[in-house]
C-alpha cells in the first residue's frame, strides 16, 4: 500500500498494511527554513517548501497543512499578530457585540489573505507530491473557535453563560460555519485529500458538555453533512479530555476525530469502534521535551489500544511546537512502522 491507500483504508475503517502516521508539524517545518516563521506563514510558496522538505525528511503518510489558528479569523478582518518564532495569534476581534453579526461578510478564499496563500501551498503540494502523500488542507478554525475570535473569547463565553441571546449566538455560529465550509471546498478544489476544523474552545476544558451540545454540535454536524454531500472527508479537532462529549463528538459524523493525550484512549476506542477514525494522541510536550525512547513507548502504547480493527492514524495530539527535536519526530514516524503492522 502507498500512503494514500493506507490513510484511505484507516478512514474507511478497513485494515491497512500498517497504521498510517501524520505530522502536525507546520511550526517545526517553518522553523527549519532558516527565515522568520512570520515570513513562512504568510507565503504559500515558502510554506509548501517547508512542508515538502519535512516530508522528504520524515516520510509520513499524511501532511496537515495550515499556518496556525488564526487564518479564517484574519480573512474575516480580525487583527492577527505574526511572530518570528511561533504561530500567528488572533489579537483584536472584528465585532464587539452579537448585534453586529450582520456586518460580517464571508471571505472569498481565492483572494482573502491568508487563505489564498494556504490554497497556493495546497496547489503546490498537490502538484508535487499529491499522488504519494495524503494532504489534509486544514480549514481552521471551526464554527465555535472562529466565532470566539470574531467577537473575542471572553465576550462569547459570557454570552453563552448568560444564555439570553441564543438566536444571535447561533447566527454568529452560522456565519463562522459558512466561512469554514467555503474555505474547505476551496482547499479540496486545490487538491487536498481531506480537510479539517479545529474547535479547541468547544471542548470540555473550556465549555460545558451541555453548551457543546447546544452551540457547537449542531454547527459541526451541519458542516460535516454539507461536505459529505460532495464526498468530502472532514477531521474535527478538539483538544483536551473529550470523553465527557465523546458520544456527541462522534455523532457529528466527522470521518476523522483528532484527539490528544488527555482523552482516555480505551474509552474513546470503545465509543468510536466501527464509527469513526481517530487521529492522535501523542503528547506534544513529550514530543518537545522527552527522549526518542519515551516517544516510542507512548506510540507503542497508543497503537496497542487504538489500532485493533483499524480506524486509527498515529500522530501528535495537537500542533508540534517549533522546538520539537527531529529525533523525536523520527521516533514517532518509525513507531508506526515498527508497532503498527496489521496481520
**Contacting positions for Zn ion (CB under 5 A):** 239, 318
The nearer residue to Zn ion, 144 or 318, going by C-beta atoms, is 318
Report the SS3 class of residue 23: strand
The nearer residue to Zn ion, 40 or 319, going by C-beta atoms, is 319
The nearer residue to Zn ion, 8 or 194, going by C-beta atoms, is 194
Q: DSSP labels for 129-153? A: HTTTSEEEEE--S-HHHHHHHHH-H
Question: At its nearest, how many Å lie between Zn ion and the CB of residue 200?
Answer: 5
Question: At its nearest, how many Å lie between Zn ion and the CB of residue 10?
Answer: 20
Question: At its nearest, how many Å lie between Zn ion and the CB of residue 249?
Answer: 13
Residues 6+ apart with CB under 8 A from 335: 21, 295, 296, 299, 300, 303, 314
Q: What are phi and psi of 16, to 5 degrees?
A: -80, 180
The nearer residue to Zn ion, 30 or 279, going by C-beta atoms, is 279
Question: At its nearest, how many Å lie between Zn ion and the CB of residue 235?
Answer: 11
Query: In the chain, where does DSSP find H-type helix?
Result: 3-11, 26-31, 37-40, 44-58, 71-75, 115-129, 143-151, 153-162, 166-189, 209-211, 217-228, 246-251, 265-272, 284-289, 292-306, 326-339
Interior angle at CA 175, CA 171 and CA 91, nearest 5:
105
The nearer residue to Zn ion, 129 or 288, going by C-beta atoms, is 288
Strands 256-258 and 134-138, bridge-based pairing:
unpaired
Question: At its nearest, how many Å lie between Zn ion and the CB of residue 165?
Answer: 28
Strands 234-237 and 256-258, bridge-based pairing:
parallel
The nearer residue to Zn ion, 61 or 140, going by C-beta atoms, is 140
Question: At its nearest, how many Å lie between Zn ion and the CB of residue 88?
Answer: 16
How far is Cα 122 from Cα 47, in angstroms, rounded to an integer?
Answer: 9
Amino acid at each position: 500500500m502507498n500512503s494514500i491507500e493506507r490513510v484511505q483504508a484507516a478512514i474507511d475503517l478497513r485494515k491497512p498494511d500498517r497504521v498510517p502516521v501524520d505530522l502536525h508539524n507546520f511550526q517545526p517545518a517553518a522553523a527549519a527554513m532558516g527565515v522568520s516563521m512570520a515570513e513562512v506563514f504568510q507565503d504559500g510558496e515558502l510554506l509548501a517548501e517547508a512542508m515538502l522538505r519535512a516530508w522528504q525528511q520524515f516520510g509520513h503518510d499524511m501532511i496537515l497543512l495550515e499556518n496556525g489558528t488564526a487564518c479564517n479569523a484574519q480573512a474575516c478582518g480580525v487583527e492577527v499578530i505574526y511572530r518570528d518564532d511561533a504561530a500567528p495569534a488572533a489579537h483584536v476581534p472584528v465585532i464587539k457585540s452579537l448585534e453586529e453579526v450582520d456586518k460580517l461578510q464571508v471571505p472569498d478564499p481565492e483572494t482573502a489573505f491568508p487563505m489564498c496563500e494556504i490554497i497556493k501551498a495546497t496547489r503546490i503540494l498537490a502538484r508535487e507530491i499529491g499522488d504519494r502523500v495524503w494532504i489534509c488542507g486544514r480549514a481552521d478554525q471551526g464554527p465555535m473557535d472562529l466565532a470566539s475570535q470574531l467577537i473575542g473569547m471572553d465576550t462569547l463565553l459570557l454570552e453563552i453563560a448568560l444564555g439570553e441571546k441564543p438566536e444571535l449566538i447561533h447566527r454568529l455560529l452560522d456565519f463562522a460555519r459558512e466561512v469554514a465550509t467555503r474555505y474547505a471546498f476551496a482547499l479540496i478544489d486545490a487538491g487536498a485529500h481531506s480537510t479539517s476544523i479545529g474547535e479547541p474552545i468547544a471542548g470540555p476544558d473550556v465549555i460545558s458538555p451541555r453548551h457543546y451540545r447546544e452551540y457547537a454540535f449542531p454547527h459541526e454536524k451541519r458542516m460535516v453533512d454539507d461536505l459529505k454531500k460532495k464526498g468530502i472527508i472532514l477531521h474535527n479537532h478538539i483538544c483536551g479530555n473529550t470523553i465527557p462529549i465523546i458520544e456527541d463528538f462522534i455523532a457529528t459524523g466527522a470521518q476523522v476525530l483528532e484527539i490528544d493525550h488527555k482523552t482516555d484512549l480505551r474509552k474513546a476506542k470503545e465509543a468510536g469502534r466501527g464509527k469513526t477514525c481517530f487521529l492522535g494522541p501523542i503528547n506534544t510536550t513529550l514530543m518537545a521535551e522527552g527522549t526518542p525512547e519515551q516517544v516510542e513507548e507512548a506510540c507503542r502504547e497508543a497503537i496497542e489500544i487504538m489500532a485493533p480493527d483499524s480506524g486509527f492514524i498515529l500522530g501528535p495530539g495537537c500542533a508540534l511546537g517549533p522546538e520539537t527535536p527531529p529525533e523525536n519526530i523520527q521516533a514517532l514516524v518509525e513507531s508506526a512502522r515498527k508497532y503498527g503492522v496489521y496481520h
